Chains A and B, each alone.
Chain A
Amino acid sequence: SQQGEEDPQALSIQEGENATMNCSYKTSINNLQWYRQNSGRGLVHLILIRSNEREKHSGRLRVTLDTSKKSSSLLITASRAADTASYFCATDVSGANSKLTFGKGITLSVRP
């Protein structure tokens, strides 16, 4: 069963605008990761944020984590057409034998 649920399921924006994607999860986590997948290809890791961190940046990406609300957001600033992809949050549930569980994903379309 999926641990993370992204919101919205699809997002369409103009090039240059910012894109904000949200992920909610149900149980305590050790960390949360965001991945990108271009159509029909492998996933690319974007950012890993640990449960004791609140915010991380990587280039045009900003990720926040609110463990009290069990939610995370991914902000892509100054979007480009090349950012068009599916974005997944993935969580590692606290406890033994941890594994990465992916949310349903968000489809981002950036119009030139």
Chain B
Amino acid sequence: DTEVTQTPKHLVMGMTNKKSLKCEQHMGHRAMYWYKQKAKKPPELMFVYSYEKLSINESVPSRFSPECPNSSLLNLHLHALQPEDSALYLCASSQEGWPGRETQYFGPGTRLLVL
């Protein structure tokens, strides 16, 4: 199984809502990532979990809260988002936990719209 799955595919939320994005992989990968991608822009790294521990936080606002319950699952909890947070949120994983040195496998993304 070489697939990274993400749910939901689409999400519309108000600025006072709390929602969560979910990501799952069953490839035995030890690193998982959250990226944010605005239209016609490259993906921007948000968080990296390596061996279930947060190893990189790219100065992301606290209204985004990552969680790694186990080595196969990665969540992104959203609270009090702003309209400018509307974007495609991509999850990825890689095998050994070396974020920059390995192939990353991406999920299809969650398209988020904040009203």
Number of interface residues of B (CB under 8 A): 26
* Contact between chains at B4 and A42 (CB < 8 Å): yes
Cα distance A99–B4 in the bound complex, in angstroms = 19
* Contact between chains at A45 and B43 (CB < 8 Å): no
- In the assembled complex, the CB of A14 is this many whole angstroms from the nearest CB of chain B, namely 24
Cα distance A93–B105 in the bound complex, in angstroms = 19
* Contact between chains at A2 and B99 (CB < 8 Å): no
- In the assembled complex, the CB of B49 is this many whole angstroms from the nearest CB of chain A, namely 13
Interface: B32 (CB within 8 A):
no
Contacts of A88 in B (CB 8 A): 42-43
Contacts of B109 in A (CB 8 A): 40-42
Interface SS of chain A? strand
Cα distance A97–B31 in the bound complex, in angstroms = 13
Tell me the chain A residues, 61-112 only, with Cβ under 8 Å from chain B: 88, 91-93, 97-105
* Contact between chains at B101 and A92 (CB < 8 Å): yes
Given contacts A42-B90, A104-B41, contact A98 B105 (CB under 8 A): no
Cα distance A97–B4 in the bound complex, in angstroms = 24
Contacts of B42 in A (CB 8 A): 2, 88, 102-105
- In the assembled complex, the CB of A5 is this many whole angstroms from the nearest CB of chain B, namely 11
Place the interface of chain A in its size category.
20 to 34
Interface: B69 (CB within 8 A):
no
Contacts of A97 in B (CB 8 A): 55-56
Cα distance A98–B97 in the bound complex, in angstroms = 11
Contacts of A20 in B (CB 8 A): none
What are 29 A-B residue pairs whose CB atoms fall within 8 Å in the complex? A2-B42, A30-B100, A30-B101, A31-B101, A35-B106, A40-B88, A40-B111, A42-B90, A42-B108, A45-B106, A48-B102, A88-B43, A92-B100, A93-B100, A97-B55, A98-B98, A99-B45, A99-B48, A99-B56, A99-B100, A100-B45, A100-B99, A100-B100, A101-B45, A102-B44, A104-B41, A104-B42, A105-B41, A105-B42
Identify the B interface with A (CB < 8 A).
4, 40-45, 48, 55-56, 88, 90, 92, 98-109, 111
